[in-house]
Amino acid sequence: MTYLITFACYGSHIHGNESGSVDLGHNAPRTPFLQGDSWRAATESDLMDQPPYHLDSLRRDAVLEAIHEVCTYRGWSLLAAHVRTNHVHTVVDAEAEPERVMADFKTYASRRLNRMRVDDSGRKRWARHGSTRWLWNPMNVSAAVQYVVAEQGEPMSMFNSHDV
């Protein structure tokens, strides 16, 4: 099955921020984002025990390499990936549940960053979950790849299987 998997860095998508976010009640396709709610945003920020995590160029490249590594190891086909400063988008064909794929992406990326010793021990890097969307047909897959590689703003650490 092919999936669009997105996960955010720790603290980068606080519910209630003016930029919008998704919670359990607003995560279905075509469901609007949560509205800005300064009280909710402040409450969630106060609950954080570390500052938000951001990926610089070195960290973005390491995360992309880790995603390639896990795909090779698991026999999954990476179609597209774009590692941004505060989130990661991937389109992947995998014979596993999407939650497993996302968990492996986060685990491999954290392991690689730990080996590089670029962060303090115990640093939280990833939000608890993310978005896992099933792509049911070739048109959905093509649209997801387009979204990941061409609709995220300035290109950062990116992979597109069509460029290989």
Distance of CA 136 to the CA centre of its chain: 20
**In this prediction, what percent of the chain has a pLDDT beyond 90?**
68
> Taking 70 as the threshold, does the pLDDT of residue 9 lie above it?
yes
pLDDT tens for 121-149 read 889 999 988 999 999 999 999 999 999 99
pLDDT tens for 67-83 read 999 999 999 999 999 99
Strand, coil or helix: 156 = coil
Per-residue exposure over 34-46, b if at least 16 CB sit within 10 Å of its own CB, e if not:
beebeebbeebee
Residue 41: band (very low, low, confident or very high) from pLDDT cuts 50, 70, 90: low
> Taking 50 as the threshold, does the pLDDT of residue 26 lie above it?
no
> Taking 60 as the threshold, does the pLDDT of residue 95 lie above it?
yes
> Taking 60 as the threshold, does the pLDDT of residue 42 lie above it?
no
Distance of CA 161 to the CA centre of its chain: 18
Domains of the chain: 2-12+53-163 (3.30.70.1290)
Section 3-29 average pLDDT? 66
Section 95-104 average pLDDT? 97
> Taking 50 as the threshold, does the pLDDT of residue 65 lie above it?
yes
pLDDT in the model for residue 50: 77
- Its pTM stands at 0.84
pLDDT in the model for residue 72: 98
pLDDT in the model for residue 10: 86
Residue 93: band (very low, low, confident or very high) from pLDDT cuts 50, 70, 90: very high
What single letter denotes the amino acid at residue 35?
Q
* Encoded tokens for 20: 């919008």
Per-residue exposure over 64-102, b if at least 16 CB sit within 10 Å of its own CB, e if not:
bebbebbbeebebebbbbbbbeebbbbbbbbeeebeebb
